[in-house]
Amino acid sequence: MNTTVTVALAIGAVVVLVAAVALRVADRLGLPSLLLYLALGLGLGESGLGVDFEDAELTQTLGVAALVIILAEGGLTTRWSDVRRAIGPGVTLATVGVGVSVGVTAAVTVWLLDASWGFALLLAAVISSTDAAAVFAALRRLPLPRRLAASIEAESGLNDAPAILLVTALAGYLTDGEAHAWWFLLGEIVLELAGGAVVGVLIGYLGAELLRRVALPVAGFYPLALLALCVLAFATASLAHASGFVAVYLCGVLLGNAALPHRSASIGFAEGMASLAQIGLFVLLGLLASPERLLGALGPALVVGGALLLVARPLSVALSLVWFRMPWAQQAFVSWAGLRGAVPIVLATFPLTFDVPGATVIFDTVFVLVVVFTLVQGWSLPWVAKRLQIAAPITPRDVEVESAPLDELDADLMQLTVPPGSRLHGVYLPELRLPEDAAVVLIVRDGRSFVPDDTTRLMRGDQALLVSARRSRAEAERRLRAVSRAGRLASWRGETGRVTGAD
């Protein structure tokens, strides 16, 4: 075997293992994990172990591929009930918000740094997009109202497309002098967003129908098929000159909310792949950076970042959310939670590949800006949520039901675990009132399995296997959720078991 390949595989394996340990360290210290991954890349680079890496084009290509996986995972783990109520604020923040943010940040940059308008607009466009990986990781650890969190997540999933179009158009203008009229660029953004949405929804719907009807020979194929459909949505939309990022996110949302076989395992696999993509992306970006140049970029980064955080972002949020009657405290949190991460740094490689004058300055400024303001915002988010009094009450975890197809019987095998805080604890099996063609067939308790009967009660920590006719599966899941939330008298208390979220 080629020695170079063997060494590369060994280095890659060590980097992943070190990054996994670093994630644990980051959690204990309260640090955003991306900072440790960037530091790992810097340590491997020319000023550390001496790895000489300056391929901006390869970094851009691999960065886009990593963002596809990260956005797919974000869509797969997003509840449709939340997105449905947050799509308006999310789309407005991703379009109007991006435009306002770019204009205000560029104006302050021209005023304070005496930069040209072309340079200032390009720099502002690069940092205009919030980062999906940073937002998903940070917000899902906080007990926030569902509509608020979903609005920020939808923005981070949708605002990459307008930002990329702006960066590409401005970089082209600064290199060859060709510029499109503002109305042409605006129309292109709208068309790309709409086209990406159509492609994502179509492939997501067709993919869900396919996976429901075709029993794959190996259970491990389901997670691969799920991610393959999301990647297909990105590629199809991109080839059709629509937004691949919007397509992959919406395709993930549809697939993640469909009643698919092995859904929990598939989403767990997607989460692992997204973490691996983040590790590789941040390490690669750290390798591309040159530490000796970063100190000189600290001053401009603080000026531009301060303008974005304290002026441009609050104004863009206020103008975007004025139509949606969102309380001012929640608007303030949305403003502060516009986290920057890998996406702006990946976008900063576009000027490098276009050979834009001053591209290195843009990359270094954005790199330092992301590091500094990730520290400031990442650490302070829980405190800000507490001070604004918007934290939602912590509720017991909902019951999760996993399923696998029994194709020849036209039935599904489902697995559930009784979570802490669930009111399934102590409920006799007949009190579940499952459909007639659904039944609990096996329970595993404290490592011992047994076949239950009508005198068996569910207990916390129990793992149960259920068999249901396919036509009754949805009703069985609703009944299990209802009893988990409201107990054996769920129907009397008006609990239907539908998937809902707090406002």
pLDDT classification of 301: cutoffs 50, 70, 90 = very high
* Intra-chain end-to-end CA distance of the chain, in Å: 57
Per the structure block, which two tokens stand in for 376?
């400031």
pLDDT classification of 373: cutoffs 50, 70, 90 = confident
Instruction: Strand 448-450: give its sheet, edge to edge.
Output: 400-406, 411-417, 463-469, 438-445, 448-450
pLDDT in tens, 206-265: 998 888 777 676 767 888 889 999 999 999 999 998 888 889 989 998 998 887 777 777
What is the value of pTM for the model shown? 0.73
In this model, does residue 499 exceed pLDDT 70?
Answer: no
Q: Would you state the pLDDT for residue 405?
A: 63
pLDDT classification of 479: cutoffs 50, 70, 90 = confident
Identify the CA nearest to 115 among candidates 357, 353, 372, 316.
357
Contacts 24+ apart (CB under 8 A), 449-454: 453/429, 454/428, 454/429, 454/430
**Degrees, nearest 5: CA angle 97-245-234:** 165
pLDDT in tens, 156-202: 888 888 888 888 888 888 887 666 666 777 777 788 888 989 999 99
Q: Would you state the pLDDT for residue 503?
A: 41
Q: Would you state the pLDDT for residue 205?
A: 93
Calculate what percentage of the chain has a pLDDT beyond 70. 87
pLDDT classification of 120: cutoffs 50, 70, 90 = very high
pLDDT classification of 395: cutoffs 50, 70, 90 = very low
362, 126 Cβ separation under 8 angstroms: yes
In this model, does residue 269 exceed pLDDT 90?
Answer: no
In this model, does residue 102 exceed pLDDT 70?
Answer: yes
76, 270 Cβ separation under 8 angstroms: yes
pLDDT classification of 271: cutoffs 50, 70, 90 = confident
DSSP string, 382-403: HHHHHHTT-PPPP-PPPPEEEE
Q: How far apart are CA 130 and CA 159, in angstroms?
A: 7
For 181, other C-beta atoms within 10 Å of its C-beta total 8
Distances (CA, A) of 8 to 14, 20, 128, 275: 10, 18, 35, 20
pLDDT in tens, 425-470: 888 888 888 888 889 989 998 888 899 988 898 988 888 888 888 8
Indicate if the alpha-carbon torsion angle 208, 210, 215, 220 is positive or negative.
Answer: negative
242, 202 Cβ separation under 8 angstroms: no
Q: How far apart are CA 333 and CA 384, in angstroms?
A: 7
Q: Would you state the pLDDT for residue 378?
A: 77
- Domains with residue ranges and CATH for the chain: 54-387 (1.20.1530.20), 400-486 (3.30.70.1450)
**Rg of the chain over CA atoms, in angstroms?**
24
